[in-house]
Amino acid sequence: MNGELLTDDDHRHRELEARAASLVNPASGLANDYLNIYNEVVMLVETLPNMPEAMEDILNWRPTTYQDYFSKSILPGSKNALENYSKLDADFRKSFEDVVAELDRCATGSVVAIRRHNRQKGDNDPAGLEQICARAGATLREILQRASNIVDHGQQQAEEVAQRRADRLLMVRIQAIKDVQDFYSRPRF
């Protein structure tokens, strides 16, 4: 810049600034890094049947809010993530927080179910534990995908998903009407 020579520290500082700017997705104003706490619990739950040493980590897992996550984070861009979050449209932020609350309930419920199974059965029912973990993992992944869609695509994606669902339901209804009409149009004897 203007003939200045940049030091290694200057380059590192610029690299950190660039990574900080990329922490927040411009489509939504949200940082995907927050969802890593849920990716972690999904991974732990899904691997538990084959990795019993993950039990302690699962039992110690706790949800945290977006604000708490970034206020305690050492990631470059955490302050930027918090600033952007405070500026989000209230309805959009609520739709994101609603999905996160569902993730919290499901993850916490999964931890409780695993803890209960561990206390009651210990290592004597690996098939039961595997079922609990498989169900929990699948449910968590589905909710996590919805949260990721909001982070990755913003409000537009939420509207598209709702429209896609409405279109699908309408097509099912149209097909059902056609099936009924077809049934009554056939001779019966």
pLDDT digits (tens, 9 = 90+) for 46-96: 999 999 999 999 999 999 999 999 999 988 888 889 999 999 999 999 999
Integer Cα distance of 108 and 89 in angstroms: 28
163 in any annotated domain: no
pLDDT band at 164 (very low <50, low <70, confident <90, very high): low
Q: Are the CB atoms for 144 and 42 separated by under 8 Å?
A: yes
Angle of helix 36-47 relative to helix 90-121, nearest 10 degrees?
A: 20
pLDDT given at position 183: 62
Average pLDDT over residues 144-162: 77
- pTM here is 0.71
Q: What is the pLDDT, as a whole number, of residue 76?
A: 82
Q: 66 lies in a domain?
A: yes
Confirm whether 183 is domain-assigned.
no
Alpha carbon distance 115, 129 (integer Å): 10
Q: At what angle do helices 90-121 and 126-185 cross, to 10 degrees?
A: 130
* Residue 129 included in any domain: yes
CB 114 within 8 A of CB 132: yes
**Domain span including residue 131:** 34-153
pLDDT over threshold 80, residue 41: yes
Q: Name the CA radius of gyration of the chain, rounded.
A: 23
What residues contact 44, with CB distance under 8 A and at least 6 apart? 54, 57, 58, 61
Q: How many domains does the chain have?
A: 1
Q: Do the Cβ atoms of 35 and 147 come closer than 8 Å?
A: yes
**Separation of first and last alpha carbons in the chain:** 89
101 belongs to a structural domain: yes
